[in-house]
Amino acid sequence: MAAFQNKTVLITGASAGIGAALAERLFPICDAVILTGRREANLQSICAGHPNAHYRVHDATDLASIPAFAEELISSFPKLDCIVLNAGIQRSLDFSKPEKIDLSKIDLEMTTNYTSYIHMLKYFLSHLLKQPQATVVGVSSTLGMVPIPRCPNYCATKAALHHLLIILRYQLRDTRVKVIEIFPPVVKTELHAPFNQPDLADGEVPMSISLEDFTDAAWAGLVQGKSEIPVGFANRYYETVERVRHKQLENVFGGKASLGSN
């Protein structure tokens, strides 16, 4: 808990699901928690009753708005020392039926899940690097380690994010910015709701876990100070796939400490 005690935290994609659930864990111990998302009513509801809770209505896919967004937040919260990058969407994609592929949806998925993260990092890192201690948390996915056929572009965006966070941790190894990656399994959130993914008629997918169970496990990893936090069946792939990859990368980058792996 000490790692987040008295921090000023920004959470993107916080109007529901994982972002909102993490906010609830942070409210009791942080100086300020700023939630961002597109749905103001949701943000207001989550912040209600928490005097240290704040929100900004912001669409992370509006890349041109991010410089001004970052400038305003840093001005309003000069002690900001943690960002949780969590915005994400998932869409199905079937290349066996190319005539049915909607490229605008694919572009939006890439922007939401990956490109927006790069823009956010560019405009917040200069500030974070000046703080006594700072943290960047990226929420990726088990599917960034092992893809599935139904949503290949989603898997690709999360694989890109996973690699980005590995190298970000390496590049910032001699700074006071800690980089953390959370690997959710399939979590029962709006990500899989029929209004987001009509092909999932009932919003249910195999091997899913409750949001509460996910948050308990992710929070435990954060409190323990882990750099990489696989949850649920993500542990299986982390231990069998990522452990091997890390050993290979450590040889390239010069040891475990340089990667900050668990």
> 226-261 as b/e, with b when 16 or more CB fall inside 10 Å?
bbbbbbbbbbebbeeebeeebeebeeebeeeebbbb
CB within 8 A of 179, min separation 6: which ones? 135, 136, 138, 165, 168, 169, 172, 227, 260
Candidate CATH numbers 3.40.50.300, 1.10.1040.10, 1.10.150.120, 3.40.50.720; the one for domain 8-259: 3.40.50.720
Q: Which one of 55, 117, 154, 238 is the catalytic residue?
A: 154
Print pLDDT tens along the chain (262 aa). 567 999 999 999 999 999 999 999 999 999 999 999 999 999 999 999 999 999 999 999 999 999 999 999 999 999 999 999 999 999 989 999 999 999 999 999 999 999 999 999 999 999 999 999 999 999 999 999 999 999 999 999 999 999 999 999 999 999 999 999 999 998 876 554 554 445 655 545 665 789 999 999 999 999 999 999 999 999 999 999 898 888 888 888 876 656 666 6
Residue 123 a catalytic site member: no
Those residues with Cβ within 8 angstroms of residue 242's Cβ, 6 or more apart along the chain or in another chain: 145, 228, 230
Q: How far is residue 95's CA from residue 108's CA, in Å, rounded to a whole number? A: 17
At 195 the pLDDT is 46
pTM: 0.91
pLDDT of residue 160: 98
